[in-house]
Amino acid sequence: MTTFVDRLNSGPILLADGAMGTMLIQSGLEPGHPPESVTLSNPGALEEVARVYLDAGADVIQTNTFGASPARLSTYGLDDKTEELNEAAVSAVRSVVGNGAYVAGSCGPSGKLLQPYGDVAPEELYESFRRQTDSLIAAGVDCVFVETMIDLHEARLAVQAVKDSSSHTPVVVTMTFDPTPRGFYTIMGVDVETAAVQLAEAGADGVGSNCGNGIENMVAIARDFKAACDLPLIIQSNAGTPQTVGGDVVYGETPEFMAEKAAGLVTLGVSVIGGCCGTTPEHIAALREVVDQAA
Amino acid sequence: MDLLADLADGVINGNDQRVAEITKQMIDQGTAPKAILDDGLIAGMKVVVERFRVQDIFLPDVLLAARAMYAGTELLRPLLIKEGIPSIGKVVIGSVQGDLHDIGKNLVGIMLKGAGFDVIDLGNNVAPERMVQAAQEQGATVIGMSALLTTTMPAMRKVVEMLHQEGLDDRIKTIVGGAPVSDDFARDIGADAHGFDAASAVDRVKLLMNVS
């Protein structure tokens, strides 16, 4: 199997998976419990999620470790289980995909604010990321996806943690941008160009955006990234922004709509295309067709 | 030199040391605490909120401005209490049970304080009973609830129902907010208002309390 980083740089386009949380809720995750709790209580559910996305055609399957850094787990009193949670989540995916897909270790934000905006010191956050990335890499991930970042300083600390955990494990970083009258910015005021430049400097192997405000905005964000850097791009879009209809939460973008617009990502030369909140195996299957047409 | 304008600038620029200095100086000079608060600190925060609303500045600038504002309000609080000057209203806020996200809720708290409200922040993962109890004990007339997760939104309904069952809903109003919360959802659960974003939450709370 071609290494992840070769595939990232030379193609063909990698298709990543879709949403995890909603599928875990369907398999019994209770409100108020973190998705990571499923890793110990019901690892079979993780295997099932990996299987449906693999069957839908995904080349990259992410682990259920978005919140599995001790800084974030500590709010649930689970930080002493950091290693166990990361290793078990990687094993669950690997047992299903073998060498038939890349296993990406998901690493989300700490949920805390760095000084001076909040009360967390950079060293503390680095240590938290490092414990998670040490475990993910020891468990055998093919790459780490640092995801949904809004603060560039925090994102850089996560990249550094991956680099220090392993000199050869690739790391890609996605940040979440909102449209403003002056272009796309994260909640913490980071624009696309600054993100691209600084993440490249930090040593990211790929950069891009996830979550967000629907596929059409993602195409515009990808264009901005393309103009700002030469790194491989990764785009994992929400299926639109969530709307509540009669108490239910719905994401408006259908698999057909996402697939049609995702053709714009292919044209721009995006290297990894996938889904985020609200995307289903049907969305991923529809994106598979778009990616295959490009090959 | 206009110290009030300097004070407002200190808040706008997030310079907490400067704000503390000027506030002390003005207190020593005998300026009315209420004037320092309204025409200096809150005036500065109003500019920050407006710039944030039009997305000219972002969360970090607001957090630094808030920190600067608090450097002043901490010094003024004992004087305002001594003079018996009431705030324009008291609001209890919190992220609902099961929800550990608090950036949005904190932002609403900052904006409410910046508009002159007394804010009791119960933190995150707050049980419905605690919200109602705190509002009663503290004499708050509005409860503000935040949820970022669709799975925790039902806890908002519990608070609204509890107020109704205990016959408190005529004195304690509710406002809900957070990314997945909509006008429809707020209406459906019987909340009195929905804040689309932090700035509009302040406007809605003012309407609920009949203050301008």
For B56-101, write each residue's pLDDT tens digit.
999 999 999 999 999 999 999 999 989 988 889 999 999 999 888 8
Same domain, B74 and B130: no
CATH number at residue A273: 3.20.20.330
Predicted local distance difference test score (pLDDT) of residue A247: 62
In the three-class reduction of DSSP (H, G, I as helix; E, B as strand; rest coil), residue B189 is classed as: helix
Predicted local distance difference test score (pLDDT) of residue A22: 81
Predicted local distance difference test score (pLDDT) of residue B99: 84
Q: Are A268 and A223 in contact (CB under 8 A)?
A: yes
CB under 8 A, 24+ apart: contacts of A267-271: A268/A219, A268/A222, A268/A223, A268/A226, A268/A233, A269/A226, A269/A233, A270/A13, A270/A208, A270/A222, A270/A233, A270/A234, A270/A235, A271/A8, A271/A9, A271/A11, A271/A13, A271/A14, A271/A206, A271/A232, A271/A233, A271/A234
Instruction: Please report where in the chains the tokens 């299926």 appear, as a residue.
Output: A239
Same domain, B65 and B128: no
Chain A positions touching B63 (Cβ under 8 A) are 113, 117-118
Task: Pick from A26, A180, A249, A276 the residue to mutate for testing the B interface (most B CBs within 10 Å).
Answer: A249
Asked whether the beta carbons of residue A188 and residue B58 sit closer than 8 angstroms, the reply is yes
Predicted local distance difference test score (pLDDT) of residue A32: 72
CB under 8 A, 24+ apart: contacts of B152-156: B152/A31, B152/A32, B152/B95, B152/B96, B152/B97, B152/B98, B152/B99, B153/A244, B153/B96, B153/B178, B153/B180, B153/B181, B153/B185, B154/A31, B155/B96, B155/B97, B155/B98, B155/B99, B155/B128, B156/B96, B156/B181, B156/B189, B156/B191
Same domain, B203 and B114: yes
Give the integer Cα–Cα distance in Å for A153 and A151: 6
Choice between B173 and A29, residue whose per-residue pLDDT is larger:
B173
pLDDT digits (tens, 9 = 90+) for B17-63: 999 999 999 999 999 999 999 999 999 999 999 999 899 999 999 99
**Peptide linkage before A116 cis (omega within 30 of 0):** yes
Cα of A72 vs its chain's centroid, Å: 16
Same domain, B100 and B203: yes
Same domain, B12 and B60: yes
Predicted local distance difference test score (pLDDT) of residue B150: 77
Predicted local distance difference test score (pLDDT) of residue B10: 98
Q: Using CB atoms, which residue from B98, B101, B180 is nearest to A249?
A: B180
Predicted local distance difference test score (pLDDT) of residue A85: 98
Predicted local distance difference test score (pLDDT) of residue B143: 98
Give the integer Cα–Cα distance in Å for A87 and B110: 40
Same domain, B113 and B197: yes
In the three-class reduction of DSSP (H, G, I as helix; E, B as strand; rest coil), residue A14 is classed as: strand
| Of the residues B50, B82, B114, the one at which a domain ends | B82
Token pair recorded at residue A106? 């998901």
Q: Are B10 and B41 in contact (CB under 8 A)?
A: no
Cα of A12 vs its chain's centroid, Å: 19
Choice between B154 and A147, residue whose per-residue pLDDT is larger:
A147
Is pLDDT of B118 > 70?
Answer: yes
Is pLDDT of B179 > 90?
Answer: no
Predicted local distance difference test score (pLDDT) of residue A28: 85
CATH number at residue B200: 3.40.50.280
Same domain, B41 and B60: yes
Mark the ranges of chain A whose per-residue pLDDT is less than 70. Answer: 244, 246-247
Number of domains present in the structure of chain B:
2
Tell which residue, A61, A82, A68, A58, has the closest CA to residue A142.
A61
Q: What are phi and psi of A145, to 5 degrees?
A: -105, 105
Residues near B45 by beta carbon (within 8 Å), at least 6 away in sequence: B11, B65, B66, B69, B113, B114, B115
* B144 pLDDT tier (thresholds 50, 70, 90): very high
Predicted local distance difference test score (pLDDT) of residue A222: 98
Pairing mode, strands A102-107 and A60-62: parallel
Same domain, B108 and B159: yes
Is pLDDT of B198 > 90?
Answer: no
Task: Pick from A187, A250, A251 the residue to mutate for testing the B interface (most B CBs within 10 Å).
Answer: A187
Predicted local distance difference test score (pLDDT) of residue B103: 85
Same domain, B145 and B194: yes
Q: Range of A288's domain?
A: 4-294
Give the integer Cα–Cα distance in Å for A227 and A196: 9
Confidence (pTM): 0.90
Cα of B146 vs its chain's centroid, Å: 12
- Which helix (H) or strand (E) segment holds residue B193: the answer is strand B193-195
Q: Range of B19's domain?
A: 3-82
| Of the residues B21, B48, B82, the one at which a domain ends | B82
Is pLDDT of B147 > 80?
Answer: yes
Q: What are phi and psi of A16, to 5 degrees?
A: -95, 175
Same domain, B111 and B157: yes
Same domain, B102 and B202: yes
What DSSP character marks residue B85? P
Tell which residue, B206, B201, B202, B141, has the closest CA to residue B169.
B141
Task: Pick from B59, B182, B187 the residue to mutate for testing the A interface (most A CBs within 10 Å).
Answer: B59
Mean pLDDT lowest for which of A118-127, A269-278, B164-173, B178-187? B178-187
Asked whether the beta carbons of residue A243 and residue B182 sit closer than 8 angstroms, the reply is yes
Asked whether the beta carbons of residue B154 and residue A31 sit closer than 8 angstroms, the reply is yes
Pairing mode, strands A143-149 and A102-107: parallel
Give the integer Cα–Cα distance in Å for B30 and B60: 33
CATH number at residue B52: 1.10.1240.10
Chain B positions touching A187 (Cβ under 8 A) are 58-59, 103
* B127 pLDDT tier (thresholds 50, 70, 90): very high
How close A167 comes to chain B (CA, Å)? 33
Chain A positions touching B198 (Cβ under 8 A) are none
HSE-up (13 A, CA, CB side) for residue A229 = 24
Predicted local distance difference test score (pLDDT) of residue B110: 92
Q: Are A146 and A106 in contact (CB under 8 A)?
A: no
What DSSP character marks residue B143? E
Number of domains present in the structure of chain A:
1
Predicted local distance difference test score (pLDDT) of residue A246: 64
